[in-house]
Structure 1
Amino acid sequence: MAELKDHLEIKFRLSDGSDIGPKSFPDATTVATLKETVVAQWPREKENGPKTVKDVKLISAGRILENNKTVGDCRNPVCNLSGAVTTMHVLIQPQVTEKEKKKKKKPKADLKNNVCLCFGHRF
């Protein structure tokens, strides 16, 4: 029974409502390791999956979890009842490369040609 106290049963809820897990993790497991698990177990049939740990954000009890924190640090005594499964929400935020950033920037000259169709004003 002491072993179970040192572990947390976690499932990862994806944005479409499907889950990865549940799986048991020791309290000493870091959030970065949890993210590695999400990347490794991401369903192949789903589009826009994470490529690296940096693409993943985990949310538990309304807080974004930091990579250096452990599962034990993330425990919430009110929510984590003995034998209960903790749900962590997964957000995927792909990293934008410098090349992609440059493509998204509009030259200032283009801004002069923008027209509001509602009022016909030029900005």
Structure 2
Amino acid sequence: MAEEEAIEVRFRLFDGTDIGPDKYDPSTTVASLKETIIARWPEDKANAPTKVEDLKLINAGRILENKWTLTESRVPVGDLPGSIITMHVVVRPPSSVKRAVSAGKEKENASRQGRCVCTIL
């Protein structure tokens, strides 16, 4: 990997902390970047992802596909040579949390359905 070809990327987590910046080869895939994030996830952070599918990377408002390379993911407009690209990391909640939230909403909706919606004037 030639130094001038390397792309410097930092990953911004949901609470504003960063992983990186580090330099990556332009042919590095988004899936491989996600694996790096999982490996370097701070131990003190909640909602730690366990697999690539748990993460979404966003660059310049675009959700990046796992098969894309860094070169394909870059947005050339406003990109300065030697600048650091910041990608935002979104973590899907674990499926048990989703099920609990879903069950809570169903219960809430069921209790609303039993209420009278009459209006007395």
TM bucket normalised to smaller: 0.7 to 0.9
CA distance change for structure 1 residues 113 and 79 in 2, over 3 Å: closer, same or farther?
same
Name which of structure 1's ranges 23-32 and 75-84 shifts more when overlaid on structure 2: 75-84
Q: Is the 8 A contact 1:8 1:25 kept in 2?
A: yes
Q: Unpaired runs of 5+ in structure 1?
A: 116-120
1:38: which partner in 2?
37
Q: C-alpha separation between the residues in 2 aligned to 1:114 and 1:5?
A: 67
Give aligned pairs, total.
Answer: 115
Residue 58 of structure 2 is matched in structure 1 by 59
Aligned residue for 1:118?
none
* Cα distance in 1, alignment partners of residues 79 and 110 from structure 2: 56
Identical-residue share of aligned pairs (%): 44
Q: How far is the alpha carbon of 1:81 from its aligned partner?
A: 1.5
1:112 aligns with 2:82: no
The two structures have a TM-score, normalised by structure 2, of: 0.80
RMSD across aligned C-alpha pairs, in angstroms? 2.6
CA distance in 2, matches of 1:36, 1:29: 11
Mean Cα deviation higher: 6-15 or 106-115: 106-115
Q: Distance in 2 between matches of 1:63 and 1:45?
A: 28
1:48-70, CA deviations, whole angstroms, 9 ceiling, x for partnerless residues?
A: 11111111000001100000000
Q: Quote the offset at 1:79 in angstroms.
A: 3.2
Deviation at 1:95, TM superposition (A): 4.7
Unaligned runs of 5+ in 2: none
Deviations 1:82-108 (A, max 9, x none): 1111000000113526x937x727378
